[in-house]
Every structure is written in structure tokens, then in C-alpha cells.
Structure 1
Amino acid sequence: MSAPHTDVEEVELANTAFYEALERGDFDELTSLWLTPADLGVDEEYHDPADTGVVSCVHPGWPVLTGRGEVLRSYALIMAGTDYIQFFLTDVHVSVTGDTALVTCTENILSGGPAPEGGEELGPLVGQLVVATNVFRRTPDGWKLWAHHGSPVLAENDEDEDDETPA
């Protein structure tokens, strides 16, 4: 693949790197992809980076997490409790305005936990459908995540379809 030539391509690469770091369970890489207070010009000598609310995250079913420390802790917990996770992204749309970029996508997630009763294989694989919004900011080191919001897509109920009457 050739080097990116547009902001949209660079944001697409940053978005892909985020999901690939999650798939690999690479916490150090994931950490490097999130904005730091210094990226936004916050003087870390006077503000605790863990408490400075420069980033936010909403995982499906979780409350809003604000601040780099809270957000990164949440990913550490997810990685520690998930033996396998794979993201198939669809409906990816990137919009860039100045130094801010918005990515919307559908996360088709396949995951598995620890093996039942200490077996060597993964526990049952579970599929989940989530719509996500990722907000990036341009920094001297490239595009970094400012916010992530994931919301589950509720499955349609078969009974709802039976209740519909033709027009």
C-alpha cells in the first residue's frame, strides 16, 4: 500500500490502527493512539494527565468515561477479560474538517472469553453489532483519538414483523 496522501486516508489508517491494536491486545499501541493533554497544549506540570478530561469513551452499556486514565483503564479491563476479539468494520465514513475528523462505522464484533473449566480452547464465540463514532484530532505525531462512542444495535424481534399489517 502506498503512503497516504490525504487527511481522509490518514484518518482511515489511524482508525484501523485503533481496531488492530484492540484485536492484538496491544495496550501500549492502544495507549499511543489516544490524545494526551500535551497534544492539546495542556501543561502536564500543573494538571494530572489522568484527571484531565481531554478524552472520553462510551462502551456499549457503560457510562461515559472521561479522562485519559479512566478511558485507558477500561481498555485494560476489556483486554484482560477477552481472549479473542475481531472487528469487521462496515459502513465506514470519514469526514475531516480542519484538525478534527469524525469516523462513523458499524463494528461487527466476534469475541470469545476464557475456555470453560480451564480447557485449552476458547469459550463460545459471540457476535455483537455496534455502531461507533470515533473522533480524531490532528497532532504533530499524526491523528489521535479524542473520543469513542459505541452503541449496540438491537436485533429486530421476529414478533414485531408478525404484527405488521400490509398497507
Structure 2
Amino acid sequence: MSAPHLDVEQVEAANTAFYEAMERGDFETVSSLWLVPADLGVDEEYHDPADTGVISCVHPGWPVLTGRGEVLRSYALIMANTDYIQFFLTDVHVSVTGDTAVVTCTENILSGGPAPEGDEELGPLVGQLVVATNVFRRTGQGWKLWSHHASPVLTESEGDDGDAGDDGDGAPA
């Protein structure tokens, strides 16, 4: 097996591990899959690792989060407020150049929040379609997440009337 093919397989495995840990609500594993400042040569003796903006994350509808503290806090909040989440990844594409890899994919997400008060069953499940870009960096411990950016995909029924950019005269605005 060629080295580039092996790199692609290892990145795919790291990407899958990230989503599986999210599904299990395994915060420790999610945390371990993100770069630490030392992975990028940042001297933690002089920089607070929680404030060092070496990693970033954009959840759908959220502002950019930078640094391990902000990013991992966001995952802790998501896990604490989501009773069930499952990712069906489609359109997965992996590109590796040197020690950096980019994974683009569509996250077909099925999730449920807390059940209504007094109801022991899971609250209603909601489906969401999100496109994501995950950037990985090769480290001595394998491939780790450097950046995650996810954006919702609007369906035609969520748009105005499917004529984006049309000001009514048939010509683009």
C-alpha cells in the first residue's frame, strides 16, 4: 500500500473516530482528537493553552470559536444538551498534502433534545443537513483536528421561493 493511500485511510479513520465519539457523547475522546498547542510547536510555558488560537471551530449558526478552551467548551455544551445524535456522512472527500489533510463531507444529522417534562421517551427527532470541512494535522500521535467548519444546507422549502437573486423581472439581481 502506498504512503499517500495509507495517509488517506488514516485521515478517514480519524474523521470517523471524531463523529463516532460525538455520537457516544464521549467528551474525553473528542478532546483527544483535537490538536494541543504543543502539536504545532507552541511553547505552553509562555502561552496559556486554553487561550492559544491554534484550533478553530464553527458550528452551524455560531460565531468562530478559537483555542482549545472555547472549542472544547462548545462540544461539552452540545453533548450536555443533546440526548441523541447520529451522523450519516455522505460525499466524503479526503485530500492530503504533506502533514495537512482536508476532509469535506455532508453531515446528515439525526438528533433529539431533552424529552418534554414528565416524558421518559426521547424528545422528537429532528433531521438536519450540514456540509462540513475538517482540517487535520499529522502529529506524533496520528492525525488530529485543527479546524472544523460546518454550515447548514437550506432546502428549497426553507429558501424564499427558490429564485435566489431574482428581483422579479427574471434577471438576476
TM-score by length of 1: 0.92
1:57 alignment counterpart: 57
Q: Counterparts of 1:42 and 1:149 in 2: how far apart (Å)?
A: 23
**Percentage of identical aligned residues:** 85
Q: Could you give the per-residue CA deviations for residues 94-130 of structure 1, whole angstroms, max 9, x where no partner exists?
A: 0000000000000000000111113111100000000
Q: Could you give the per-residue CA deviations for residues 58-85 of structure 1, whole angstroms, max 9, x where no partner exists?
A: 0000000011100000000000000000
Letter in 1 for 2:142: G
Give the Å deviation of 1:160.
3.0
2:162 alignment counterpart: 160
Q: Counterparts of 1:19 and 1:152 in 2: how far apart (Å)?
A: 17
Q: Counterparts of 2:72 and 2:19 in 1: how far apart (Å)?
A: 14
State the aligned residue count.
159
3-state DSSP of counterpart to 1:75: helix
3-state DSSP of counterpart to 1:110: strand
Q: Counterparts of 1:160 and 1:138 in 2: how far apart (Å)?
A: 42
2:42 alignment counterpart: 42
2:70 alignment counterpart: 70
1:113 alignment counterpart: 113
Give the Å deviation of 1:152.
0.2
Q: Counterparts of 2:162 and 2:49 in 1: how far apart (Å)?
A: 48
Letter in 1 for 2:151: S
Letter in 1 for 2:37: P
Give the Å deviation of 1:143.
0.1
For the pair 1:17 / 2:9, whether they are aligned, the reply is no
Q: Counterparts of 1:151 and 1:14 in 2: how far apart (Å)?
A: 21
3-state DSSP of counterpart to 2:117: helix
- Aligned-residue CA RMSD (Å): 1.5
Q: Could you give the per-residue CA deviations for residues 42-68 of structure 1, whole angstroms, max 9, x where no partner exists?
A: 111111000000000000000000111
After the TM superposition, which residues 97-108 of structure 1 pair with which residues of structure 2 at under 5 Å, given as runs?
Answer: 97-108=97-108
Q: Counterparts of 1:29 and 1:66 in 2: how far apart (Å)?
A: 19
3-state DSSP of counterpart to 1:62: coil
Q: Give the gaps of 5 or more residues in structure 2.
A: none
TM-score by length of 2: 0.89
3-state DSSP of counterpart to 2:34: coil
For the pair 1:139 / 2:150, whether they are aligned, the reply is no
2:125 alignment counterpart: 125
